[in-house]
Amino acid sequence: MAAGDVKLLGYFSSPFVLRVRIALNIKSINHEYVEENVMSKSELLLKSNPIHQKLPVLIHGERPICESLIIVEYIDETWTSAPSILPSHPYDRAIARFWAAYTDVKLFAVLQELRTARGEEAMGNIAKKMSEGLFPLEDAYVKCSKGKTFFGGESIGYLDIALGGILAWLKVIEIMANMKILDETKVPNLVKWADKFRQDPSVKGVIPAAEKLIEFFSMFTANEQAAKN
């Protein structure tokens, strides 16, 4: 399939966009990646996602698909010849979807607090919430992985993608709060999982550096402050 048939609208700092980029890499799908300007949304983005006007948007044969986990499932169901992303058994799929939803509700919701967080104390509170949110996922990893490398087994799967999208921002919070979140003494299995996840060929070169995200965060908060004055 030509790259022009598959297009991804995204932005480097978005953990949701990262999910889709990893899924496309896993499936080895030739595609065009379009970096959007989040401060000035393109006509293509507004046309493709008129309801939420958010990223990511996958455009396949001129048909847009929105929402990161929905896109990941669409990719898995459309390109069936490549490695599967969702578990094959209905029960395992249900469990993976449950913990993916937990990740969005508990962890990505905390990320939204970065928009108003100012100072080390505020960052420390966010880091604490993130750390507490990881505890149930430590147990979930043990049960879902069944002794293998990833939540999805020996290769990256749906829940790995759902949680892995947040890793770069976890590092940012750790640096800005001066507090460990992925702590080997508290979540040792997740620490090992995160290391393996980052090293996977489908992930390498996609996760942005923490320094670049910190620079983006500083610029974003400065612009928001200027807009209020």
Quick one: three-class SS letters along 63-127?
A: EEEECHHHHHHHHHHHCCCCCCCCCCCHHHHHHHHHHHHHHHHHHHHHHHHHHCCCCHHHHHHHH
In this prediction, residue 14 carries a pLDDT of 97
Domain that holds residue 68: 3-78
Residues 18 and 111 grouped into a single domain: no
Q: Determine the Cα–Cα distance for residues 202 and 96; give it in Å rounded to an integer.
A: 20
63-66 and 57-60 as β-strands: parallel, antiparallel, unpaired? Answer: antiparallel
Q: What is the CA radius of gyration of the chain?
A: 18
Q: Determine the Cα–Cα distance for residues 217 and 84; give it in Å rounded to an integer.
A: 35
In this prediction, residue 60 carries a pLDDT of 98
In this prediction, residue 206 carries a pLDDT of 95
- pLDDT tens-digit series, residues 64-80: 999 999 999 999 999 99
Average pLDDT, consecutive stretches of 10 residues, N- to C-terminus, the chain (229 residues):
79 97 97 94 97 97 97 97 93 98 96 87 95 98 97 97 97 95 97 98 95 92 72
- Which strands form 63-66's sheet, in the order they lie side by side? 32-35, 6-10, 57-60, 63-66
Domain count, the chain: 2
Residues 94 and 184 grouped into a single domain: yes
Residue 7: inside a domain? yes
- pLDDT tens-digit series, residues 95-130: 999 999 999 999 999 999 998 888 889 999 999 999
In this prediction, residue 4 carries a pLDDT of 60
In the numeric block, the tokens 């940012």 are attached to 172
Question: Which positions ≥6 away from 172 have C-beta within 8 Å?
Answer: 210, 213, 214, 217
Instruction: Give pTM, 2 decimals.
Output: 0.94
Residue 159: inside a domain? yes
Residues 138 and 46 grouped into a single domain: no
In this prediction, residue 116 carries a pLDDT of 86
CATH of the domain at 55: 3.40.30.10
Q: Determine the Cα–Cα distance for residues 186 and 101; give it in Å rounded to an integer.
A: 22
Instruction: Tell me which of 78, 107, 127 is where a domain ends.
Output: 78
* Contact indicator for 198, 204 with CB cutoff of 8 Å: yes
In this prediction, residue 185 carries a pLDDT of 97
In this prediction, residue 1 carries a pLDDT of 47
Residue 220: inside a domain? no
Residues 208 and 124 grouped into a single domain: yes
